[in-house]
A and B are shown apart, each in its own frame.
Chain A
Amino acid sequence: MQRYSAFSLLRNALGHNRNWGRVWRSPEPKQGYDAIIVGGGGHGLATAYYLAKNHGMSNIAVLEKGWIGGGNTGRNTTIVRSNYLWTEAALLYEKSMQLWEGLSQDLNYNVMFSQRGVYNLGHSLQDMRDIERRVNANRLNGIDAEVVGTAELGKAIPHLNISPGARYPVLGASLQRRGGVARHDAVAWGFARAADALGVDIIEQCAVTGIDVSGGKAVGVQTTRGPIASDRIGVVVAGHAGVLAQMADLRLPIESHPLQAFVSEPIRPVLDTVVMSGAVHGYISQSDKGELVIGAGIDAYNGYGQRGSFPVIEHAMQAIVELFPVFSRVRMLRLWGGIVDVAPDACPILSKTPVEGLYFNCGWGTGGFKATPGSGWAFAHTMAHDEAHELNAPFSLERFSTGALVDEHGAAAVAH
């Protein structure tokens, strides 16, 4: 692997940038691997990377049906925070946050992690009580969190409408200063490059069409590029988890829904933090290119088409204009949808399954980008040891039959 540094930038600039090497190989699939990861999104690539880095496994393939990062990883609004209410969730997302804080150095790839702060607005007395409760819970878990009032909000976010006459007046917010955004594509590429350097085969244009199970054990996969054997298979396909589960005759407590986002035309710097509101349901930040990045809610009905419905777009726009009347005349440039895998308790599933050697990592729903490094870290442990790490042990499939759900639905600020 060609290491990136200021010196390599300079050297390549002198060569008119014609000598940069390939960032990862494009190998032919082998007949078998020690482990297979299905799905080349951020979570799958991170799993492969940590399997290699932390557990010394390098005979691994990541199989991706399209191009890496083309799923939700490359479609999300990139908000990173760890201020979840329940301890189980908070610790998992906080592990991720700590990995984010050193990720660019660790991967030798700039993932543009920008800790610009995340505000979750409250619009009612009950919102504010929930915010105070969550901030206190976060602090008890060692996670930075503050309650801020409208005066401070007005100073920090000058264009936010804090007028008491607003339809949904802003009464305050929680603030996680360590939260922020990262560059989604760079996360996929950075993990891919680092995993590749440790020997992982990243195989794009390779859809898994079947999971081979023999005597209750996973033995390999069928793909559009032929069968590949392995007795350790990790499925990390987000919205398609149900489709893969069916290949192994499993059912999941997951439903897939479209979730949309949009970006505006680029404008001058106007918003240097992240603002989210669960009550009016919109969230917004500004990218380094100047585009406003805006997220919507999910379509209430199931869907696998990567586009969402118009009423949801309209609703998100109303929310943003309500919060920032100054944006009412900004034009939207692009909009798109991803398919998110929603679990009944809005928490992920990182779990063994009834099929030995088959593991599922899914259920991140509308909010898993922030968890990319932590998810890969914990899931790699689970696959390497055939046993959950204590961080992801509460997130097994069993919780749906024991009843030990981690109910972040409604408890978390807003689901992203």
Chain B
Amino acid sequence: MLLIECPWCGPRAETEFSHGGEAGITRPANPDALSDAEWADYLFYRSNPRGAHRELWNHARGCRRWFVVERDTVTNRIAGSFRLDEALPVPASAAGKQAEQGD
């Protein structure tokens, strides 16, 4: 069971939350200007990293607020939770680096 830290309510059990997928995907300001491939990338393509992953969670059975969690997708270790209105630290994952563990 994951222990997820809600920035407002503190650490709570995974069952109180729902997962909202990869964080940081913003709806393009002007969809008409995009090519089909760019639109597809926004809709369907995800980075799906093996390692550090920034993802949205919603405290659905709690305060019902959204926030960002950085979690390792191999070990499930959570590096931190961040409010949507705060600047995220320099991402460990943004370079697209993969964790080097085997499984």
Tell me whether B82 is interfacial, beta carbon within 8 Å. no
Asked if A400 and B50 make an inter-chain contact with CB atoms under 8 angstroms apart, the answer reads no
| Cα distance, A311 to B41, chains bound together (Å) | 32
Tell me whether A243 is interfacial, beta carbon within 8 Å. yes
Asked if A300 and B43 make an inter-chain contact with CB atoms under 8 angstroms apart, the answer reads no
Asked if B46 and A255 make an inter-chain contact with CB atoms under 8 angstroms apart, the answer reads yes
- On chain A, the residues within 8 Å of B18 by CB distance are 300
Q: Report, as a range, how many residues of chain B touch the other chain.
A: 20 to 34
**For residue B96, which residue of chain A has the nearest CB?**
A246
Asked if A253 and B49 make an inter-chain contact with CB atoms under 8 angstroms apart, the answer reads no
Instruction: Of the listed stretches A54-62, A80-88, A225-233, A301-309, name the one at the interface; the rest are far from the partner chain.
Output: A301-309
Asked if A246 and B55 make an inter-chain contact with CB atoms under 8 angstroms apart, the answer reads no
Contact with A along B37-58 (1 / 0, CB 8 A): 1011101111111100101000
Asked if B39 and A401 make an inter-chain contact with CB atoms under 8 angstroms apart, the answer reads yes
| Cα distance, A251 to B96, chains bound together (Å) | 11
User: Using a CB-CB cutoff of 8 Å, which residues 309-323 of chain A contact chain B?
Assistant: 309-311
Asked if B1 and A240 make an inter-chain contact with CB atoms under 8 angstroms apart, the answer reads no
**For residue A301, which residue of chain B has the nearest CB?**
B19
| Cα distance, A254 to B40, chains bound together (Å) | 12
Asked if A309 and B14 make an inter-chain contact with CB atoms under 8 angstroms apart, the answer reads yes
**For residue B36, which residue of chain A has the nearest CB?**
A401
Residue in contact with B74 in the complex, picked from A242, A251, A252, A304, CB distance below 8 Å: A304
Tell me whether A402 is interfacial, beta carbon within 8 Å. yes
Contact with A along B1-37 (1 / 0, CB 8 A): 1100000000000110011011000000000000011
- On chain B, the residues within 8 Å of A252 by CB distance are 45, 48
| Cα distance, A303 to B49, chains bound together (Å) | 9
| Cα distance, A303 to B41, chains bound together (Å) | 21
Asked if B98 and A243 make an inter-chain contact with CB atoms under 8 angstroms apart, the answer reads yes
| Cα distance, A301 to B73, chains bound together (Å) | 9
Residue in contact with B50 in the complex, picked from A243, A301, A401, CB distance below 8 Å: A243
Asked if A301 and B55 make an inter-chain contact with CB atoms under 8 angstroms apart, the answer reads yes
Least CB distance, A406 to chain B, in whole angstroms: 13
Least CB distance, A362 to chain B, in whole angstroms: 11
Residue in contact with B46 in the complex, picked from A253, A303, A309, CB distance below 8 Å: A253
What are 18 sample pairs from A and B whose C-beta atoms fall under 8 A apart?
A242-B50, A243-B50, A243-B98, A251-B46, A252-B48, A253-B44, A253-B45, A253-B46, A302-B55, A303-B74, A304-B74, A304-B103, A305-B74, A309-B2, A400-B44, A401-B36, A401-B37, A401-B39
| Sample of 15 more A-B contacts, CB < 8 Å, known A253-B44, A311-B1, A401-B40 | A242-B50, A243-B98, A252-B45, A253-B40, A256-B50, A300-B19, A301-B19, A302-B73, A304-B73, A305-B74, A305-B75, A310-B1, A344-B43, A401-B36, A402-B36
Task: Return the 4 tightest CB-CB contacts between A and B, nearest first.
Answer: A253-B44, A401-B40, A242-B48, A401-B36
